């Protein structure tokens, strides 16, 4: 239970941090959300399969900032190479069919095999709904001259050393959408 209540918001915080650091990626997510959902509706789980770029952002976030870094002994038997591995580049997941099921030894944020997280399906939907709703419903800003930190604090879960502080401004035209 603790894993599900802590890891999903932590992943969304990392994703928002990366999107605020890379405004071009944020704009791609906003454009996709506006195309799929429109500005008169709110995000629902039926929209999730159509949100390909949002899914790529979440996967790239989990690749760069694995929430559960202690997935030992799940270690690849050979080195896995990512092009420009330290760069936030969600597009790398648009070109492949990599999923969360632990079938690719370069990407298994939920573990694999018998010890794989039982909440993968729930986490996949919850991360998309939470991140998608935040990005679709608000324009996000930072204090002038600030850039969110990527420093992490190691523990059972890999969290940000400094919490993300961002200012939301409503972007949907109908205030009833916020209830």
For the annotated binding site for heme, the residues are 117
CA 75 from centre of chain: 23
β-pairing, 167-170 vs 138-141, is antiparallel
Buried b (16+ CB within 10 A) or exposed e, 87-103: ebbbebbeeeebebebe
Task: Pull the structure tokens for residue 86.
Answer: 């330290």
Annotated binding site: 117
Residue with tokens 């109908």: 174
Residues 28, 125, 136, 41: is their CA dihedral positive or negative? positive
- Cα gap 85→130, rounded to integer Å: 26
- Cα gap 34→146, rounded to integer Å: 27
């Amino acid at each position: 239970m603790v894993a599900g209540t802590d890891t999903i918001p932590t992943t969304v915080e990392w994703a928002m941090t990366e999107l605020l650091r890379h405004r071009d990626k944020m704009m791609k997510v906003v454009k996709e959300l506006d195309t799929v959902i429109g500005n008169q509706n709110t995000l629902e789980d039926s929209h999730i399969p159509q949100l390909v770029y949002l899914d790529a952002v979440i996967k790239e976030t989990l690749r760069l900032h694995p929430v559960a870094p202690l997935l030992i002994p799940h270690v690849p038997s050979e080195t896995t190479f990512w092009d420009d591995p330290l760069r936030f580049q969600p597009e790398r997941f648009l070109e492949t069919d990599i999923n969360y099921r632990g079938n690719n030894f370069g990407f298994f944020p939920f573990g694999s095999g018998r010890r794989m997280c039982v909440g993968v399906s729930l986490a996949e939907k919850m991360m998309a709904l939470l991140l998608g709703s935040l990005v679709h419903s608000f324009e996000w800003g930072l204090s002038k001259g600030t850039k969110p930190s990527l420093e992490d604090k190691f523990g059972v879960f890999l969290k940000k050393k400094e919490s993300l502080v961002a200012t939301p401004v409503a972007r949907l035209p109908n205030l009833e959408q916020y209830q």
